[in-house]
Structure 1
Amino acid sequence: MSNELDSTARPAGRPSLGFVAAATAVAIGVLALAAATWMVRGVIITVAAALLLAAGLEPQVRAVQRRVGRRGTAVLVVVAAIFAGLVLFVTLALRPAIDQAAELVDDLPALLDRLSQRFGGSALADHLASPEFEQQVRGALDDVVAFAASSLGAAFGVLGSVVGVVFTGFTVAATTVYAMLALPRIRAFAGRAAGDPERVAVVGEVFRRVGGYVTGQLGICACAGIASAIFFVIVGLPYAALLALIVAVLDAVPQVGATLAAVVAVLVALTVGFGTAVAVAVFFIAYQQLENFVIAPRVFASAVSLTPMTVFLAVLAGGALAGFVGAILALPVTAAVTVVLRYVFRRRLAEAHPVEPGDEARLNGHRD
């Protein structure tokens, strides 16, 4: 009887007062959560960066832990090795590169004169020797510096604007150490929270791919920079430390980075002589073949399995969103997204591409 009275008292199609109150409460809760997330976005970025770095360093920590036994000692050894590597990098590469960058700006007119002499008597030589072209080059150098600064600002501006770059770096480093120590417990908690073992496997696969890409890319960039520095010193190329640092940084950008680094090095080599420029060009061609077909496949393995078109589009999107840093981070983010999408659409993918019994056994054996 009461239900009949309620249905006659409330017009058909209109929601009840309780439903409106619940919907309003949910909307207010979502807005409050969004506002709180925005307020602590710096902390979220710090934790996310620390987790990615911890996941990338996890294979090294496990390898050391198998020898020393205790995880805390293994983390301490890895951190000490990283700190020693940073000290060597600053001493042997960064400081000389900064000094040589100042020398390059001062020597720019003389370098352009020498470069124009290599093309003596041509319209290109006159253009290279013109004051207008020198101003264009200086403007391009300023644009590169501004682009790098804006890229770092887009990636870390939230943290940098609050506490400063130095403290931000220290905060990320300290949080990474804590994340490395707590990573086994974090994984165990994620397993209990997710409940579904398949979801836990997806999270683990995301961390494995992103971490593998981060550490692998750092290793590849270091190899490119060290090999380039040794070759530049052998052939007597000026600004060897600066050019090697440029090669190491640009090598992190897929597809176009190595080409840009080669162009810069060849242009500087032209100020020395055509023979030096040819030698530098041959070195980059040979090294790129070695990196693309020998080093990169062994380092990355299955960390990033993306098609060339996906890589190209990801780099374009990352560069448009966050500049140079966005182009570097585009691939690990895209690789993580593909893992999640494969899980979400796993049933449709299984229907479209059914796995044969023999293939399933082979995959299970590969996972084991």
Structure 2
Amino acid sequence: MTKEKMFRFLVYAILIFTVIYLVHLTGFIFRPIGTLIAAIAVPIIGAGLLFYITNPLVNRLEHFKVPRIVGILLVFLGLVAVAFFSVYFIIPPVQEQFTKLIDNAPQMAQYFDEIFELWQNRQEFIPASVEDTIQNVINNLDSYAESIMGSLFNFIGSVFSFVFSFVLIPFFLFFMLKDGHKFIPFATSFFSPSKASSLETLLKNINRSLSAFIQGQALVSLCVGVMLLIGYWAVGLNYALMLAIFGLFMNLIPFVGPWISAIPAVIIGFFQDPMVGVWTAVIMIVAQQIESNFISPNVMGKVLKVHPLTVITLILAAGAIAGFLGLLFVVPAYAVTKTIISHFYHVYTDKRPVGQKNLF
């Protein structure tokens, strides 16, 4: 039996790789499909993220006998209120702080140049390669700032090119909230009862994994952003609101994101005052300890069951392959893939009832 299963596994593997190779050879046929998927990806992904965040609210309202349509409309009113508050009370001060930071970039470069010269004068020996590298970085800080600004404006231009896609997000979100609960019964209606039961279990597990990650990560990031904002204001750090929001969004990247957000905050703190830099570093460490030891375990639990080393490896690989979007989506994609493989493994190894084996 073991040899028979191994032979079937090898046959399936060969067939899968053959299909992948044929798809690669005939890629020109699927290119229009890829273009279509890319066109609708933004509204679907955006609406999907909002769906997992807002659907519990709609379900809670429905639990209290509020009609689902009314609950959806109330959630939309809440989203409009959040957008209004952001546009009028958060975005203007963040934009002002960002403009001041860019204006102060030359002074920061001069400050670091003076620090390097002071340190250089007190050293008896510095390797020429190290000295040349540091001096080159300092001399090109302005160009680095301009490059970052150019990349930022290119990013803003790309965002505006997707405005139409973002306009579609509310429409996708409305129908997801309204009819999302009908998807699993619809998908399983094409299969026999035994296979439909297995497929329903698989889809529910995928939904549970995505829901746990998206809802948990959003709530954890919000808590971290609030803690950073309070801490930055307490120590008098310049650009506190901008840096706290940056930390909030970077916290969406598990494990690595919080430390990425710490770098600019600590540098700006040391530029402002060495003690402010020290206190900023302390605030970052304390916030991450609270998040990792108290908030995340209680909010997200261990639903995903992904080892930290696995997450770091996935993030490094995804960042190199797909950039920032890869950093954001690699963990939930891995969780979904793991759920699917685990499901079919249990079906294949007879760990489920006989009626649920051989799904396809």
> For the superposition of Structure 1 and Structure 2, which TM-score range results when normalised by the shorter chain?
0.7 to 0.9
Shift of 1:124: 9.1
Gapped runs of 5+ residues in structure 2? 1-22, 124-130, 353-360
The answer to whether residue 125 in structure 2 is matched with residue 121 in structure 1 is no
Partner of 1:268: 268
What do you get for the CA RMSD once the two structures are aligned? 3.4
Q: Aligned letter for 2:95?
A: I
In structure 2, what is the Cα distance between the partners aligned to 1:69 and 1:33?
A: 48
Does the Cα contact within 8 Å between 2:255 and 2:308 map onto a contact in 1? no
The answer to whether residue 253 in structure 2 is matched with residue 250 in structure 1 is no
SS state at 1:345 partner:
helix
- Change in CA separation of 1:312 and 1:137 when aligned onto 2, cut-off 3 Å: same
The answer to whether residue 90 in structure 2 is matched with residue 86 in structure 1 is no
Deviations 1:313-361 (A, max 9, x none): 221232123211210111111111110011121146677xx9xxxxxxx
SS state at 2:118 partner:
coil
In structure 2, what is the Cα distance between the partners aligned to 1:306 and 1:244?
A: 27
The answer to whether residue 86 in structure 2 is matched with residue 66 in structure 1 is no
Partner of 1:287: 287
Partner of 2:93: 96
- Change in CA separation of 1:108 and 1:148 when aligned onto 2, cut-off 3 Å: closer
- Change in CA separation of 1:281 and 1:205 when aligned onto 2, cut-off 3 Å: same
SS state at 1:193 partner:
coil
Does the Cα contact within 8 Å between 1:55 and 1:208 map onto a contact in 2? no
Does the Cα contact within 8 Å between 2:40 and 2:165 map onto a contact in 1? no
SS state at 2:190 partner:
helix
Amino-acid identity (%) = 20
Q: Aligned letter for 2:102?
A: V
- Change in CA separation of 1:112 and 1:138 when aligned onto 2, cut-off 3 Å: closer
Q: Which moves more between the two structures, 192-201 or 333-342?
A: 192-201
- Change in CA separation of 1:265 and 1:125 when aligned onto 2, cut-off 3 Å: farther
Q: Which moves more between the two structures, 89-98 or 177-186?
A: 89-98
- Change in CA separation of 1:120 and 1:79 when aligned onto 2, cut-off 3 Å: same
Q: Aligned letter for 1:63?
A: R
Partner of 2:178: 181
Partner of 2:227: 227
- Change in CA separation of 1:202 and 1:61 when aligned onto 2, cut-off 3 Å: same
For CA contacts below 8 A with separation 6 or more, give which structure has more relative contact order: 1
Q: Aligned letter for 2:141?
A: V
Gapped runs of 5+ residues in structure 1? 1-26, 355-368
In structure 1, what is the Cα distance between the partners aligned to 2:330 and 2:189?
A: 31
Partner of 2:140: 136
In structure 1, what is the Cα distance between the partners aligned to 2:177 and 2:92?
A: 30
In structure 1, what is the Cα distance between the partners aligned to 2:309 and 2:331?
A: 12
Does the Cα contact within 8 Å between 2:209 and 2:303 map onto a contact in 1? yes
Q: Aligned letter for 2:166?
A: G
TM-score w.r.t. length of structure 2: 0.76
In structure 2, what is the Cα distance between the partners aligned to 1:124 and 1:341?
A: 60
In structure 2, what is the Cα distance between the partners aligned to 1:309 and 1:108?
A: 36
SS state at 1:122 partner:
helix
Does the Cα contact within 8 Å between 1:220 and 1:295 map onto a contact in 2? yes
Shift of 1:177: 1.6
In structure 1, what is the Cα distance between the partners aligned to 2:152 and 2:325?
A: 8
Q: Aligned letter for 1:89?
A: S
**Structure with bigger gyration radius:** 1
Q: How does 1:1-368 map to 2 (within 5 A)?
A: 34=30, 37-42=33-38, 44-45=40-41, 46-47=43-44, 49-114=46-111, 121-123=118-120, 133-144=137-148, 164-195=161-192, 196-347=196-347
Shift of 1:34: 3.3
Q: Aligned letter for 1:285?
A: I
Shift of 1:289: 0.7
In structure 1, what is the Cα distance between the partners aligned to 2:325 and 2:110?
A: 34
TM-score w.r.t. length of structure 1: 0.74
Shift of 1:312: 1.6
- Change in CA separation of 1:328 and 1:150 when aligned onto 2, cut-off 3 Å: farther
SS state at 2:171 partner:
helix
SS state at 1:255 partner:
coil
